[in-house]
Structure 1
Amino acid sequence: MSDDPLFAIGPDQPGHDPESGQWGAAVELPVDGMPLEYEAFTLTHRPSYLCFAQEILGDPGVAGEVVHEVLVQLAIDWSEALRSPDIVVTAWGMLCHAIRAEVRRRDRDPQLLVRLARLRTTLDRMRAALPDTEATTAADRDPDADTDDPLMVLLATLSPRQFDVVILKAHGRSTHFIAWFLGTHPSTVDRNLARALARLDDGLRPLRLLHPGTPDHRRGERR
């Protein structure tokens, strides 16, 4: 996890004014001549961008304005953005920075920092509660062993990043929020989640057959 995910995206993004600290101010979307690729990009990413912005900012109206500004600036810089190594990553960086600038502008840093600190505490407590995988290897092989919770044993076998993603998902956080919180990209979150769920599913399948009451991890899969 990034030491300070609030600053994981630097300020050197298209449309950012380093003197005023504002982002994408007073720009209008060109109504004519936008390529189909831009329209497809907008249709694909705008819904998840809106959900993410609202999750951080807590206001649907403000979230809509921020996302609109990001997409406007992306339209203006479209030719330049296409020359970047990955336009999806470029747009993600623009969105993260725009949201961060809006948090600062509205003096919401303290509240947001408290929310993030609580999530870090939750992850730390969950990680501390994990069993010692070396000590529980024999119990893990024995479905009838009444020692550690089988799900906790399996969670202990995940990589740190996979564990963080699964726990944050189980707490109802969106893929985009998790990516921002961990200082990574949503596609990386999706990959880690898929690998973690596959590992958990493989481990829990025999337990579900022998013990039908075993909890189903897929309840934490919603996005």
Structure 2
Amino acid sequence: MKSLLSNLKIDINDKIYLKDPQSSDLGKRIIANSIKLIDDIGFDSFTFKKLGNAIGSNESSIYRYFDSKHKLLLYLTSWYWAWLEYQLVFSTANMSNPNEKLEKAINILTRTIEADSTFEHIDEVVLSRVVINEYSKSYLTKEVDEENKDGYFSIYKRLVTRLRDMIIGVNKDYKFPHSLASTVLEGALHQHFLKDHFKSLTDCDHKIQPSDYFTHLVFNALTTNK
């Protein structure tokens, strides 16, 4: 899979950025350092001025790529979901057993992220922490409906649809495939957050992973509704 991914470019909705950051060394440094800086200080404290200082460039140079830090966050989260989608597609492409395919998909979408050397300017482990902590800020806005119409969340929605289709493949009579699929993706972020910050509110720990919980949850839901 790694050799296949190395030849791929992750495509993000071009309405999110002014200039594709993957097209230049500066753009890649903006992405790499924004991930690290948001992880360090949080999205609320993050500014383009601070990012400019981190990369040794003028704040104005960052505005040539993104017109706001909100758009930058949308870019980062979209990239993350697209990266997971590629892993999902390649890992399940040749699987014919629907139960095994769904179990594999749940594991990919909910597991603890490990380092991936395919994309040198992206630290996926750090990016996953950014998504866990900050993803909701990309859509809990007054502009969410308009941005949804413009396709800003299309990759995330496509990923939910892929998981929904696999759920239907296991149990075509299950009444809530969309809700279950979106619960898995959104719930995985929440369980990882609880595991790291509110340990008394989750059963997940260093032994029990969110992927264990969601595999149990999904297959029990599908079995009881057969």
TM category, shorter: under 0.3
Structure 1 length-normalised TM: 0.27
Q: Which one has a bigger Cα radius of gyration? A: 1
Structure 2 length-normalised TM: 0.26
